Structure 1
Amino acid sequence: MDARTGCSASLQALRHRGFWLVVAVCVVGVGGVFAVYTYVVSTLTVVAGVPRAWVPAVLALFGVGMTAGAVLGGRLADRSVRWSIALGMVGLAAVMVALTVLVRHPASAAVGVLLLGAASMAPMPSIQARLLDVAPAAPTLAAAMLHSATNTANAVGAWAGGLVLSAGAGYAAIGWVGAAMAVAGLLLSLCMFGHDGSRRNT
């Protein structure tokens, strides 16, 4: 593939509505994770009462959860990419709602951070596979767009979490915003399914 052909394929992918729906699912749904994780240290120390000396160990649990979530997400993607994304959003919403309660105690907060790490990665293999599915002629663009989408999710999520704190709701309440963003990601994924169905019927 020469440069002109590759550029043309990329431009075609950018015109694909389904491509942008997947990007939106990542930005909005995964953004909920960053709404919570951006302020997780303050949540652990202020709300849960975790000693600062133990914070690195609790954050390490987030990494353990991410590893487990990536493995699980890969297996789920092998079964169904579309439904793995939807179920991943449901899992994210459930974990973040649970976090509003779990962060009240040091031990349960550590469990919540572990679960958040797992839930954050579970839909990612399917999101990446989906991007490649809707842009088969532009795999480099699809891979780059996933990184751009997650970086945008980071910014959007941190901003949303900051709004909660500015309103005076407190760190524990951020989980509700994260859950709402995951539900929005679920709705977008259902729109993605509907888009697939309409394309097949045309």
Structure 2
Amino acid sequence: MSVLGLYVPGDTVVYRLPAGAKLLVLLAAVTGLLLVADPWVAVGATAAVAVLYPVCGLGVRRLWETLRPLLPFLVLIAAVQTLTEGWEVAARVCGQLGAAVLLAGLVTATTRVTAMLALFERLARPLRVFGVRPDRVALVLAMTIRCVPMVARAWQTARESYVARGLRRRPHRMVVPVVVNLLRSAEALGEAMSARGLD
């Protein structure tokens, strides 16, 4: 299951690790980076995680796709931090952010969505004493994940229609078609859930 297109099929050691173990490593690594607060450790951690991408079979392309959206923010943060706090703070902050994002991307790319949802359902089981239903928690997470590409697709469809009509200067007019499309999709999803006995 790769609803968002984030999971990349593979068969290395990282793929075979349980989702819970990966999340624990992610939590420990990011917490450790924040506690150490050393610029060289942060930059070194970013480089180490970047090397893990090809080692895990994801390749340099996947590494670039994960890092590319972050680059403008890193440049801006580095510039501001260098001017206000100095280059060491800039290197530390950018290194911590880069390592955290790359490590989270590695976990996401090597873990199936179904495995992650099953983990969250198990984690929610102790909340039964408070009336929380773990299966509903997993359902909400699954629906949230499913809605992300649905919103993106609705926006892309509205934009293509907008451009096809020769309209270019008023992008705010795309908002209403997108909202209407999403409401129709939500209504259809609600009807499908009701038909299956989910209230």
Per residue, is there more helix in 1 or in 2? Answer: 1
Bigger relative CO (Cα 8 Å, ≥ 6 apart): 1
- Normalising by structure 1, report the TM-score: 0.35
Larger Rg, first or second structure (1 or 2):
2
- Normalising by structure 2, report the TM-score: 0.35
